[in-house]
Chains A and B, each alone.
Chain A
Amino acid sequence: MIGESMYQELILEHYKHPQGRGLREPYDAEVHHVNPTCGDEITLRVKVGDAGKILDVSYEGQGCSISQAAASVLHELTTGSTVEETLSVVDEFTRLMQGRGKIEADEEVLGDAVAFAGVAKFPARVKCALLSWMAYKDAVVRSAER
Protein backbone atom coordinates (compact mmCIF):
# COMPACT_ATOMS: atom_id res chain seq x y z
CA MET A 1 0.00 0.00 0.00
CA ILE A 2 2.52 2.56 -1.17
CA GLY A 3 -0.22 4.99 -2.02
CA GLU A 4 -1.28 5.49 1.55
CA SER A 5 2.09 7.04 2.30
CA MET A 6 1.60 9.53 -0.49
CA TYR A 7 -1.88 10.64 0.52
CA GLN A 8 -1.00 11.75 4.03
CA GLU A 9 -3.86 12.97 6.18
CA LEU A 10 -2.29 16.41 6.19
CA ILE A 11 -2.25 16.57 2.41
CA LEU A 12 -5.87 15.52 2.20
CA GLU A 13 -6.77 18.12 4.86
CA HIS A 14 -5.12 20.90 2.87
CA TYR A 15 -6.79 19.65 -0.32
CA LYS A 16 -10.24 19.65 1.24
CA HIS A 17 -9.71 22.91 3.15
CA PRO A 18 -7.19 24.99 1.22
CA GLN A 19 -5.57 27.83 3.13
CA GLY A 20 -5.34 31.29 1.59
CA ARG A 21 -6.94 30.31 -1.68
CA GLY A 22 -8.25 33.07 -3.98
CA LEU A 23 -6.51 35.94 -5.75
CA ARG A 24 -6.16 39.08 -3.66
CA GLU A 25 -5.06 42.72 -4.02
CA PRO A 26 -2.62 44.30 -3.58
CA TYR A 27 0.23 42.35 -5.12
CA ASP A 28 3.68 43.04 -6.55
CA ALA A 29 3.85 40.20 -9.04
CA GLU A 30 1.51 37.66 -10.59
CA VAL A 31 2.58 34.50 -12.42
CA HIS A 32 0.78 31.69 -14.19
CA HIS A 33 2.39 28.27 -14.32
CA VAL A 34 1.11 25.10 -15.98
CA ASN A 35 2.17 21.50 -15.97
CA PRO A 36 1.73 20.54 -19.63
CA THR A 37 1.79 16.81 -18.98
CA CYS A 38 -1.30 16.86 -16.78
CA GLY A 39 -2.84 20.26 -17.35
CA ASP A 40 -2.57 21.38 -13.73
CA GLU A 41 -2.35 25.15 -13.47
CA ILE A 42 -1.87 27.86 -10.93
CA THR A 43 -2.06 31.65 -10.91
CA LEU A 44 -0.15 33.04 -7.98
CA ARG A 45 0.41 36.53 -6.57
CA VAL A 46 2.86 37.80 -3.97
CA LYS A 47 2.87 40.98 -1.95
CA VAL A 48 6.19 41.85 -0.33
CA GLY A 49 6.36 44.47 2.42
CA ASP A 50 9.14 46.28 4.28
CA ALA A 51 12.34 44.40 5.05
CA GLY A 52 11.42 41.71 2.53
CA LYS A 53 8.50 40.42 4.55
CA ILE A 54 5.95 38.35 2.64
CA LEU A 55 2.61 40.00 3.37
CA ASP A 56 0.46 37.73 1.21
CA VAL A 57 0.63 34.81 -1.16
CA SER A 58 -2.68 34.38 -2.95
CA TYR A 59 -3.50 31.84 -5.61
CA GLU A 60 -6.11 30.16 -7.74
CA GLY A 61 -5.60 26.91 -9.56
CA GLN A 62 -6.86 23.57 -10.63
CA GLY A 63 -5.34 20.17 -10.43
CA CYS A 64 -4.85 17.07 -8.39
CA SER A 65 -4.81 16.86 -4.61
CA ILE A 66 -1.03 16.98 -4.52
CA SER A 67 -0.72 20.19 -6.53
CA GLN A 68 -3.56 21.92 -4.70
CA ALA A 69 -2.46 20.88 -1.23
CA ALA A 70 1.09 21.96 -2.01
CA ALA A 71 -0.16 25.46 -2.83
CA SER A 72 -2.08 25.59 0.44
CA VAL A 73 0.96 24.51 2.48
CA LEU A 74 3.09 27.00 0.56
CA HIS A 75 0.72 29.79 1.55
CA GLU A 76 0.97 28.83 5.23
CA LEU A 77 4.71 28.49 5.27
CA THR A 78 5.55 31.67 3.41
CA THR A 79 3.10 34.30 4.63
CA GLY A 80 4.70 36.30 7.42
CA SER A 81 8.26 35.16 6.75
CA THR A 82 10.96 37.04 4.88
CA VAL A 83 11.75 36.43 1.23
CA GLU A 84 15.12 35.03 2.22
CA GLU A 85 13.67 32.58 4.73
CA THR A 86 11.04 31.37 2.32
CA LEU A 87 13.50 30.81 -0.49
CA SER A 88 15.50 28.48 1.69
CA VAL A 89 12.29 26.56 2.42
CA VAL A 90 11.63 26.38 -1.32
CA ASP A 91 15.15 25.05 -1.87
CA GLU A 92 14.77 22.40 0.80
CA PHE A 93 11.36 21.38 -0.54
CA THR A 94 12.77 21.13 -4.07
CA ARG A 95 15.67 19.03 -2.80
CA LEU A 96 13.25 16.71 -1.02
CA MET A 97 11.00 16.36 -4.06
CA GLN A 98 13.87 15.65 -6.42
CA GLY A 99 15.46 13.14 -4.06
CA ARG A 100 13.52 10.12 -5.43
CA GLY A 101 12.41 9.29 -1.90
CA LYS A 102 15.97 8.70 -0.73
CA ILE A 103 16.46 11.98 1.12
CA GLU A 104 15.71 12.61 4.78
CA ALA A 105 13.49 15.70 5.05
CA ASP A 106 14.59 18.52 7.35
CA GLU A 107 11.47 18.98 9.43
CA GLU A 108 12.89 22.09 11.12
CA VAL A 109 12.93 23.87 7.78
CA LEU A 110 9.95 22.29 6.09
CA GLY A 111 7.31 22.11 8.79
CA ASP A 112 4.06 20.71 7.38
CA ALA A 113 5.66 20.33 3.96
CA VAL A 114 7.41 17.15 5.15
CA ALA A 115 4.07 15.44 4.54
CA PHE A 116 4.99 15.48 0.86
CA ALA A 117 8.05 13.27 1.37
CA GLY A 118 6.13 10.27 0.02
CA VAL A 119 5.41 12.05 -3.25
CA ALA A 120 9.12 12.06 -4.10
CA LYS A 121 8.89 8.32 -4.79
CA PHE A 122 6.58 9.00 -7.72
CA PRO A 123 8.51 10.83 -10.43
CA ALA A 124 5.29 11.53 -12.33
CA ARG A 125 3.84 13.39 -9.36
CA VAL A 126 6.85 15.43 -8.29
CA LYS A 127 5.94 18.14 -10.76
CA CYS A 128 2.49 18.36 -9.20
CA ALA A 129 3.98 19.10 -5.80
CA LEU A 130 6.47 21.58 -7.21
CA LEU A 131 4.08 23.51 -9.45
CA SER A 132 3.03 26.17 -6.95
CA TRP A 133 6.45 26.32 -5.31
CA MET A 134 8.17 27.06 -8.61
CA ALA A 135 5.48 29.63 -9.36
CA TYR A 136 6.19 31.24 -5.99
CA LYS A 137 9.92 31.41 -6.63
CA ASP A 138 9.26 32.98 -10.01
CA ALA A 139 6.85 35.52 -8.52
CA VAL A 140 9.31 36.52 -5.80
CA VAL A 141 12.06 37.06 -8.37
CA ARG A 142 9.73 39.17 -10.47
CA SER A 143 8.57 41.23 -7.53
CA ALA A 144 12.22 42.08 -6.79
CA GLU A 145 12.72 43.20 -10.37
CA ARG A 146 10.09 45.87 -10.02
Chain B
Amino acid sequence: MTSTSFDVEKIRKDFPIFSRELPDGRPLVYLDSGNSSQKPNQVIDVMREHLALHYSNVGRAMHVLGAESTDAYEGARDKIAGFIGAPSRDEVIFTKNASEALNLLAYSFGNPANTDPRFTIGPGDEIVVSEMEHHSNIVPWQMLAQRTGATLKWFGVTDEGRLDYDPALITERTKIVSITHQSNVLGTVNPVAAVAARAHEAGALIAVDASQSVPHHPVNVAGLDADFVVFTGHKMVGPSGIGVLWGRGELLEAMPPFLGGGEMIEAVWMDRSTYAPIPHKFEAGTPPIVEAIGLGAAADYLTEVGLDAVEAHERTLTAYALEALREVPRLRLIGPDTLEERGATVSFTLEGIHPHDVGQILDDHFGVAVRVGHHCARPLHLRFGIPATTRASFYLYNTTGEIDALVRGLHHVQKVFA
Protein backbone atom coordinates (compact mmCIF):
# COMPACT_ATOMS: atom_id res chain seq x y z
CA MET B 1 0.00 0.00 0.00
CA THR B 2 2.87 2.37 0.76
CA SER B 3 4.90 4.08 -1.91
CA THR B 4 7.07 1.83 -3.97
CA SER B 5 10.26 3.85 -3.62
CA PHE B 6 10.18 3.27 0.10
CA ASP B 7 10.62 -0.29 1.29
CA VAL B 8 9.13 -0.25 4.75
CA GLU B 9 9.68 -3.98 5.26
CA LYS B 10 13.37 -3.47 4.65
CA ILE B 11 13.39 -0.56 7.11
CA ARG B 12 11.67 -2.67 9.75
CA LYS B 13 14.47 -5.23 9.54
CA ASP B 14 16.86 -2.55 10.78
CA PHE B 15 14.90 -2.31 14.03
CA PRO B 16 15.41 -5.41 16.17
CA ILE B 17 12.45 -4.57 18.39
CA PHE B 18 10.08 -5.54 15.58
CA SER B 19 11.31 -9.09 15.74
CA ARG B 20 9.93 -9.55 19.24
CA GLU B 21 6.47 -10.48 20.35
CA LEU B 22 4.54 -9.18 23.32
CA PRO B 23 3.38 -11.54 26.09
CA ASP B 24 0.68 -13.97 24.93
CA GLY B 25 2.02 -13.84 21.38
CA ARG B 26 0.54 -10.46 20.53
CA PRO B 27 2.44 -8.69 17.75
CA LEU B 28 3.91 -5.29 18.59
CA VAL B 29 2.17 -2.40 16.84
CA TYR B 30 4.21 0.60 17.88
CA LEU B 31 2.32 3.84 17.26
CA ASP B 32 4.04 5.92 19.93
CA SER B 33 7.07 7.38 18.18
CA GLY B 34 5.98 10.91 19.02
CA ASN B 35 6.74 9.90 22.58
CA SER B 36 9.99 8.13 21.78
CA SER B 37 11.17 6.28 18.71
CA GLN B 38 12.67 2.81 18.33
CA LYS B 39 16.36 2.31 17.50
CA PRO B 40 17.94 0.70 14.43
CA ASN B 41 20.93 -1.66 14.53
CA GLN B 42 22.97 1.08 12.88
CA VAL B 43 22.67 3.15 16.07
CA ILE B 44 22.88 0.29 18.54
CA ASP B 45 26.01 -1.12 16.87
CA VAL B 46 27.86 2.20 16.80
CA MET B 47 27.14 2.75 20.49
CA ARG B 48 28.10 -0.80 21.41
CA GLU B 49 31.31 -0.59 19.44
CA HIS B 50 32.29 2.69 21.03
CA LEU B 51 31.66 1.33 24.52
CA ALA B 52 33.52 -1.87 23.74
CA LEU B 53 36.57 -0.59 21.88
CA HIS B 54 37.03 3.17 22.01
CA TYR B 55 35.62 4.42 25.26
CA SER B 56 37.31 6.95 27.50
CA ASN B 57 36.55 10.48 28.59
CA VAL B 58 36.61 13.24 26.01
CA GLY B 59 38.58 16.44 25.80
CA ARG B 60 40.95 15.87 28.67
CA ALA B 61 42.65 12.50 28.18
CA MET B 62 46.11 12.47 26.54
CA HIS B 63 46.07 8.93 25.24
CA VAL B 64 44.90 6.93 22.26
CA LEU B 65 41.49 6.12 23.68
CA GLY B 66 41.02 9.72 24.74
CA ALA B 67 41.75 10.84 21.22
CA GLU B 68 39.45 8.23 19.68
CA SER B 69 36.63 9.06 22.04
CA THR B 70 37.04 12.80 21.48
CA ASP B 71 37.14 12.31 17.73
CA ALA B 72 33.95 10.30 17.81
CA TYR B 73 32.18 12.77 20.11
CA GLU B 74 33.22 15.82 18.13
CA GLY B 75 32.54 13.89 14.94
CA ALA B 76 28.95 13.49 16.12
CA ARG B 77 28.76 17.27 16.45
CA ASP B 78 29.87 17.60 12.82
CA LYS B 79 27.22 15.13 11.75
CA ILE B 80 24.46 16.98 13.60
CA ALA B 81 25.65 20.31 12.20
CA GLY B 82 25.43 18.84 8.72
CA PHE B 83 22.09 17.22 9.43
CA ILE B 84 20.40 20.51 10.36
CA GLY B 85 22.38 22.75 8.04
CA ALA B 86 24.11 24.67 10.83
CA PRO B 87 26.50 27.28 9.41
CA SER B 88 29.08 26.28 12.02
CA ARG B 89 29.67 23.10 14.02
CA ASP B 90 30.43 25.25 17.09
CA GLU B 91 26.79 26.31 17.13
CA VAL B 92 25.69 22.79 18.04
CA ILE B 93 25.44 22.41 21.84
CA PHE B 94 24.83 18.95 23.25
CA THR B 95 22.36 18.84 26.12
CA LYS B 96 20.58 16.06 27.95
CA ASN B 97 17.34 16.53 25.98
CA ALA B 98 15.10 19.21 24.49
CA SER B 99 13.88 20.20 27.94
CA GLU B 100 17.40 20.97 29.12
CA ALA B 101 18.09 22.92 25.94
CA LEU B 102 15.02 25.08 26.56
CA ASN B 103 15.99 25.60 30.19
CA LEU B 104 19.52 26.58 29.17
CA LEU B 105 18.02 29.16 26.85
CA ALA B 106 15.50 30.48 29.40
CA TYR B 107 18.25 30.84 32.02
CA SER B 108 20.28 32.91 29.56
CA PHE B 109 17.81 35.74 30.05
CA GLY B 110 17.77 38.00 33.08
CA ASN B 111 21.11 36.83 34.41
CA PRO B 112 22.54 39.76 36.44
CA ALA B 113 26.08 38.73 35.42
CA ASN B 114 25.25 39.37 31.76
CA THR B 115 24.56 42.82 30.42
CA ASP B 116 24.04 42.07 26.73
CA PRO B 117 20.77 43.93 26.04
CA ARG B 118 19.36 41.04 23.99
CA PHE B 119 19.35 38.91 27.13
CA THR B 120 18.28 41.41 29.77
CA ILE B 121 14.67 41.09 30.84
CA GLY B 122 12.46 42.54 33.54
CA PRO B 123 9.04 43.94 34.38
CA GLY B 124 7.32 45.23 31.27
CA ASP B 125 9.22 42.90 28.98
CA GLU B 126 7.40 40.04 27.32
CA ILE B 127 7.92 36.39 26.51
CA VAL B 128 5.67 34.87 23.85
CA VAL B 129 4.80 31.17 23.53
CA SER B 130 1.69 29.35 22.27
CA GLU B 131 -1.11 27.35 23.78
CA MET B 132 -0.06 24.23 21.87
CA GLU B 133 3.37 23.97 23.48
CA HIS B 134 4.75 20.96 25.28
CA HIS B 135 5.23 21.70 29.00
CA SER B 136 8.97 21.86 28.27
CA ASN B 137 8.35 24.99 26.22
CA ILE B 138 5.99 26.56 28.76
CA VAL B 139 7.31 25.93 32.25
CA PRO B 140 10.90 27.25 31.75
CA TRP B 141 9.38 30.51 30.42
CA GLN B 142 6.90 30.72 33.30
CA MET B 143 9.85 30.33 35.64
CA LEU B 144 11.76 33.05 33.79
CA ALA B 145 8.75 35.35 34.10
CA GLN B 146 8.52 34.60 37.83
CA ARG B 147 12.24 35.24 38.35
CA THR B 148 12.31 38.50 36.49
CA GLY B 149 8.83 40.01 36.60
CA ALA B 150 8.47 39.75 32.83
CA THR B 151 5.07 38.95 31.31
CA LEU B 152 4.29 35.62 29.63
CA LYS B 153 1.92 35.87 26.67
CA TRP B 154 0.74 33.24 24.22
CA PHE B 155 -0.86 32.68 20.86
CA GLY B 156 -4.11 30.75 21.06
CA VAL B 157 -5.12 27.72 19.01
CA THR B 158 -8.09 27.64 16.61
CA ASP B 159 -10.87 25.05 16.80
CA GLU B 160 -9.25 23.33 13.86
CA GLY B 161 -6.02 23.00 15.82
CA ARG B 162 -4.00 25.66 14.01
CA LEU B 163 -1.91 28.36 15.58
CA ASP B 164 -4.12 31.42 16.04
CA TYR B 165 -1.35 33.63 14.81
CA ASP B 166 -1.71 37.31 15.60
CA PRO B 167 1.45 39.20 14.61
CA ALA B 168 0.41 42.06 16.91
CA LEU B 169 0.95 39.86 19.96
CA ILE B 170 4.66 40.35 19.35
CA THR B 171 5.55 43.93 20.33
CA GLU B 172 8.68 45.98 20.82
CA ARG B 173 8.56 44.80 24.44
CA THR B 174 8.93 41.17 23.37
CA LYS B 175 12.37 39.72 24.16
CA ILE B 176 11.87 36.14 23.06
CA VAL B 177 9.29 34.13 21.15
CA SER B 178 9.43 30.36 21.60
CA ILE B 179 7.08 28.15 19.61
CA THR B 180 6.90 24.61 18.44
CA HIS B 181 7.62 23.71 14.84
CA GLN B 182 5.20 20.79 14.95
CA SER B 183 2.68 20.11 17.69
CA ASN B 184 3.21 16.84 19.56
CA VAL B 185 -0.57 16.48 19.94
CA LEU B 186 -2.24 18.10 16.93
CA GLY B 187 0.39 17.30 14.34
CA THR B 188 0.07 20.92 13.18
CA VAL B 189 3.11 22.41 11.50
CA ASN B 190 3.42 26.08 12.41
CA PRO B 191 4.37 28.98 10.11
CA VAL B 192 7.67 29.42 11.89
CA ALA B 193 9.32 31.54 9.21
CA ALA B 194 6.49 34.11 9.33
CA VAL B 195 6.63 34.26 13.13
CA ALA B 196 10.42 34.60 12.98
CA ALA B 197 10.17 37.47 10.52
CA ARG B 198 7.71 39.27 12.79
CA ALA B 199 9.85 38.61 15.88
CA HIS B 200 12.92 40.02 14.19
CA GLU B 201 10.99 43.03 12.93
CA ALA B 202 10.01 43.72 16.56
CA GLY B 203 13.58 43.25 17.74
CA ALA B 204 12.87 39.97 19.54
CA LEU B 205 14.69 36.66 19.38
CA ILE B 206 12.95 33.46 18.32
CA ALA B 207 13.43 29.90 19.45
CA VAL B 208 11.86 26.92 17.72
CA ASP B 209 11.05 23.67 19.49
CA ALA B 210 11.81 21.23 16.69
CA SER B 211 11.51 18.08 18.81
CA GLN B 212 8.69 16.81 16.59
CA SER B 213 9.94 18.10 13.26
CA VAL B 214 13.66 17.32 13.02
CA PRO B 215 12.99 13.54 13.22
CA HIS B 216 10.43 13.64 10.41
CA HIS B 217 11.21 16.35 7.87
CA PRO B 218 14.35 17.85 6.41
CA VAL B 219 14.93 20.85 8.70
CA ASN B 220 17.46 23.48 7.80
CA VAL B 221 18.07 25.88 10.67
CA ALA B 222 19.29 28.62 8.38
CA GLY B 223 16.12 28.29 6.31
CA LEU B 224 13.88 28.59 9.36
CA ASP B 225 15.30 32.03 10.06
CA ALA B 226 15.23 31.16 13.77
CA ASP B 227 17.80 32.22 16.36
CA PHE B 228 17.61 28.98 18.33
CA VAL B 229 16.39 25.49 17.52
CA VAL B 230 16.10 22.66 20.03
CA PHE B 231 15.42 18.96 19.56
CA THR B 232 15.90 15.68 21.34
CA GLY B 233 17.76 12.53 20.30
CA HIS B 234 15.39 9.81 21.43
CA LYS B 235 12.61 10.84 19.07
CA MET B 236 14.86 10.58 15.99
CA VAL B 237 15.95 6.93 16.28
CA GLY B 238 18.79 8.01 18.57
CA PRO B 239 19.30 7.21 22.24
CA SER B 240 17.79 9.00 25.22
CA GLY B 241 20.02 11.27 27.29
CA ILE B 242 21.10 13.49 24.42
CA GLY B 243 19.53 16.62 22.96
CA VAL B 244 20.62 19.61 20.98
CA LEU B 245 20.51 23.36 21.26
CA TRP B 246 21.46 25.06 18.05
CA GLY B 247 21.90 28.84 18.21
CA ARG B 248 23.35 31.56 16.06
CA GLY B 249 27.01 31.81 16.98
CA GLU B 250 27.06 35.46 17.94
CA LEU B 251 24.10 34.90 20.29
CA LEU B 252 25.62 31.85 21.94
CA GLU B 253 28.79 33.86 22.47
CA ALA B 254 26.81 36.67 24.08
CA MET B 255 24.97 34.33 26.44
CA PRO B 256 26.16 33.60 29.96
CA PRO B 257 27.11 30.00 30.75
CA PHE B 258 24.33 27.85 32.20
CA LEU B 259 25.93 25.04 34.21
CA GLY B 260 29.40 25.50 35.66
CA GLY B 261 32.04 22.80 35.98
CA GLY B 262 34.79 20.95 34.18
CA GLU B 263 35.35 21.46 30.46
CA MET B 264 33.34 24.70 30.26
CA ILE B 265 36.20 26.86 31.55
CA GLU B 266 39.23 28.54 30.13
CA ALA B 267 40.96 29.36 33.43
CA VAL B 268 39.86 29.15 37.05
CA TRP B 269 41.08 31.13 40.06
CA MET B 270 39.62 30.76 43.52
CA ASP B 271 37.49 33.87 43.10
CA ARG B 272 36.61 33.84 39.39
CA SER B 273 36.79 31.98 36.10
CA THR B 274 36.91 32.64 32.43
CA TYR B 275 34.98 30.45 30.09
CA ALA B 276 35.71 28.22 27.14
CA PRO B 277 34.50 29.31 23.72
CA ILE B 278 31.32 27.78 22.34
CA PRO B 279 30.24 25.02 22.16
CA HIS B 280 32.13 23.86 25.26
CA LYS B 281 31.06 26.88 27.32
CA PHE B 282 27.68 25.17 27.58
CA GLU B 283 28.86 21.61 28.14
CA ALA B 284 29.92 21.41 31.78
CA GLY B 285 31.17 18.08 33.05
CA THR B 286 31.58 14.78 31.28
CA PRO B 287 28.97 14.83 28.52
CA PRO B 288 26.76 11.94 27.42
CA ILE B 289 29.58 10.69 25.19
CA VAL B 290 28.14 7.48 23.83
CA GLU B 291 24.70 9.03 23.49
CA ALA B 292 26.08 11.87 21.37
CA ILE B 293 27.88 9.35 19.18
CA GLY B 294 24.64 7.37 18.92
CA LEU B 295 22.85 10.53 17.87
CA GLY B 296 25.42 11.07 15.16
CA ALA B 297 24.72 7.53 13.94
CA ALA B 298 20.99 8.28 14.02
CA ALA B 299 21.53 11.33 11.82
CA ASP B 300 23.58 9.17 9.44
CA TYR B 301 20.83 6.57 9.35
CA LEU B 302 18.08 9.08 8.61
CA THR B 303 20.24 10.71 5.96
CA GLU B 304 20.91 7.33 4.36
CA VAL B 305 17.19 6.51 4.24
CA GLY B 306 16.47 10.06 3.16
CA LEU B 307 14.28 12.44 5.12
CA ASP B 308 12.32 13.31 2.00
CA ALA B 309 11.40 9.65 1.69
CA VAL B 310 10.55 9.47 5.40
CA GLU B 311 8.32 12.51 5.04
CA ALA B 312 6.57 11.08 1.98
CA HIS B 313 6.01 7.75 3.72
CA GLU B 314 4.57 9.46 6.80
CA ARG B 315 2.32 11.50 4.56
CA THR B 316 0.91 8.34 3.03
CA LEU B 317 0.34 6.91 6.50
CA THR B 318 -1.32 10.10 7.73
CA ALA B 319 -3.65 10.26 4.75
CA TYR B 320 -4.56 6.62 5.30
CA ALA B 321 -5.12 7.16 9.03
CA LEU B 322 -7.26 10.29 8.64
CA GLU B 323 -9.40 8.44 6.12
CA ALA B 324 -9.71 5.33 8.29
CA LEU B 325 -10.50 7.24 11.48
CA ARG B 326 -13.28 9.12 9.71
CA GLU B 327 -15.08 5.78 9.51
CA VAL B 328 -14.99 5.27 13.27
CA PRO B 329 -18.27 6.49 14.76
CA ARG B 330 -18.24 9.02 17.63
CA LEU B 331 -14.56 9.74 17.08
CA ARG B 332 -13.51 13.37 17.42
CA LEU B 333 -10.23 14.30 15.82
CA ILE B 334 -8.26 16.91 17.78
CA GLY B 335 -6.18 18.64 15.14
CA PRO B 336 -6.31 19.36 11.40
CA ASP B 337 -8.25 16.82 9.34
CA THR B 338 -6.35 17.57 6.16
CA LEU B 339 -2.77 16.83 5.17
CA GLU B 340 -1.97 20.49 4.80
CA GLU B 341 0.83 21.65 7.09
CA ARG B 342 0.55 18.65 9.35
CA GLY B 343 2.75 15.79 10.39
CA ALA B 344 2.11 12.16 11.25
CA THR B 345 0.58 12.60 14.70
CA VAL B 346 -3.13 11.96 15.11
CA SER B 347 -4.98 12.62 18.37
CA PHE B 348 -8.63 11.95 19.07
CA THR B 349 -11.30 11.19 21.62
CA LEU B 350 -14.00 8.53 21.53
CA GLU B 351 -17.29 9.77 22.93
CA GLY B 352 -18.01 8.40 26.40
CA ILE B 353 -14.78 6.41 26.67
CA HIS B 354 -11.81 7.66 28.61
CA PRO B 355 -8.47 7.55 26.73
CA HIS B 356 -6.90 5.44 29.48
CA ASP B 357 -9.45 2.75 28.80
CA VAL B 358 -8.83 3.08 25.07
CA GLY B 359 -5.07 2.74 25.50
CA GLN B 360 -5.35 -0.18 27.90
CA ILE B 361 -7.60 -2.25 25.67
CA LEU B 362 -5.59 -1.44 22.53
CA ASP B 363 -2.47 -2.66 24.30
CA ASP B 364 -3.93 -5.69 26.05
CA HIS B 365 -5.86 -7.07 23.10
CA PHE B 366 -4.03 -5.91 20.03
CA GLY B 367 -0.51 -5.00 21.15
CA VAL B 368 -1.17 -1.51 19.82
CA ALA B 369 0.98 0.98 21.73
CA VAL B 370 -0.44 4.49 21.64
CA ARG B 371 -0.09 7.31 24.12
CA VAL B 372 -3.03 8.39 26.23
CA GLY B 373 -3.33 11.40 28.51
CA HIS B 374 -2.46 15.04 27.98
CA HIS B 375 0.92 14.31 26.36
CA CYS B 376 2.64 17.02 28.42
CA ALA B 377 0.37 19.59 26.80
CA ARG B 378 -2.26 20.18 29.46
CA PRO B 379 -3.09 23.77 28.46
CA LEU B 380 -3.87 22.58 24.94
CA HIS B 381 -6.28 19.98 26.29
CA LEU B 382 -7.90 22.58 28.55
CA ARG B 383 -8.33 24.71 25.43
CA PHE B 384 -10.36 21.92 23.85
CA GLY B 385 -12.25 21.24 27.07
CA ILE B 386 -11.03 17.66 27.39
CA PRO B 387 -8.86 16.04 30.04
CA ALA B 388 -7.03 13.71 27.70
CA THR B 389 -6.74 12.28 24.21
CA THR B 390 -5.55 9.10 22.56
CA ARG B 391 -2.59 9.75 20.27
CA ALA B 392 -1.21 7.62 17.47
CA SER B 393 2.08 8.86 16.03
CA PHE B 394 3.76 7.31 13.02
CA TYR B 395 7.33 7.01 11.88
CA LEU B 396 9.37 5.55 9.04
CA TYR B 397 8.86 1.96 10.21
CA ASN B 398 5.06 2.03 10.46
CA THR B 399 2.71 0.44 7.93
CA THR B 400 -0.86 0.91 6.81
CA GLY B 401 -1.50 -2.56 8.21
CA GLU B 402 -0.70 -1.19 11.65
CA ILE B 403 -3.24 1.57 11.16
CA ASP B 404 -5.78 -1.13 10.27
CA ALA B 405 -4.92 -2.83 13.57
CA LEU B 406 -5.52 0.46 15.40
CA VAL B 407 -8.92 0.91 13.77
CA ARG B 408 -9.92 -2.69 14.51
CA GLY B 409 -8.87 -2.07 18.10
CA LEU B 410 -10.97 1.08 18.34
CA HIS B 411 -14.03 -0.76 17.12
CA HIS B 412 -13.43 -3.38 19.78
CA VAL B 413 -13.03 -0.71 22.47
CA GLN B 414 -16.40 0.70 21.46
CA LYS B 415 -17.93 -2.76 21.69
CA VAL B 416 -16.61 -3.23 25.24
CA PHE B 417 -18.13 0.06 26.34
CA ALA B 418 -21.31 -0.11 24.24
Contact = CB atoms under 8 A, between A and B. Distances in A.
Contacts of B417: 12, 15-16, 65
Given A3-B361, A3-B364, A39-B388, A125 B356 contact: yes
B357 interface: yes
Given A12-B417, A38-B373, A65-B417, A1 B364 contact: yes
B356 A1 contact: no
Contacts of B363: 3
Contact of B354 (A1, A6, A12, A65): A65
- Main SS of the interface on chain B? helix
A81 B389 CA distance: 38
A55 B331 CA distance: 41
Interface centre among A4, A15, A65 (most CB of B within 10 A): A65
A27 interface: no
B356 A64 contact: yes
Nearest to B416: A7
B360 interface: yes
B374 interface: yes
B370 to A, nearest CB: 14
Contacts of B361: 3, 7
B365 A62 contact: no
B387 interface: yes
Contacts of A4: 364-365
A66 B373 CA distance: 15
Most buried by B among A2, A7, A37, A39: A39
Nearest to A68: B354
Given A1-B365, A63-B354, A122 B416 contact: no
A64 B417 CA distance: 12
B166 interface: no
A128 interface: yes
Nearest to B387: A39
B364 A2 contact: yes
Contact of B24 (A1, A16, A40): A1
A63 B356 CA distance: 8
A72 to B, nearest CB: 14
Contacts of A65: 353-354, 357, 417
A135 B330 CA distance: 32
Given A2-B24, A38-B388, A39-B388, A128 B356 contact: yes
Interface residues of A, number: 21
A6 B364 contact: yes
A128 B360 CA distance: 13
B357 A64 contact: yes
Given A12-B416, A39-B388, A125 B360 contact: yes
B387 A62 contact: yes
A49 to B, nearest CB: 34
A66 B355 CA distance: 12
B55 to A, nearest CB: 35
Contacts of A64: 354-357
A2 B363 CA distance: 10
Contacts of A122: 360
Nearest to B358: A64
Contacts of B353: 65
Interface string A8-43: 000010011000000000000000000001111000
Nearest to A37: B373
B374 A39 contact: yes
Interface string B343-358: 0000000000111110
A2 B101 CA distance: 41
Contacts of B354: 63-65
Contacts of B24: 1-2
A38 B417 CA distance: 20
Interface in A66-90: 66
A15 B363 CA distance: 21
Interface in B206-220: none
Contacts of B360: 3, 6, 122, 125
B356 A38 contact: yes
A125 B355 CA distance: 12
Contacts of B357: 7, 64-66
A43 B321 CA distance: 38
Most B-side CB within 10 Å, residue of A3, A40, A63: A3
B411 to A, nearest CB: 15
A125 B359 CA distance: 11
Nearest to B362: A3
Contacts of B378: 39
Interface string B375-417: 0001000000001100000000000000000000000000011
Nearest to B365: A3
Contacts of B388: 38-39
23 contacts: A1-B364, A1-B365, A2-B23, A4-B365, A6-B360, A7-B357, A7-B416, A16-B417, A37-B373, A38-B356, A39-B373, A39-B378, A39-B387, A63-B354, A63-B356, A63-B387, A64-B354, A64-B357, A65-B354, A65-B417, A66-B356, A66-B357, A125-B360
Given A12-B416, A39-B378, 4 more contacts: A15-B417, A64-B355, A65-B417, A125-B356
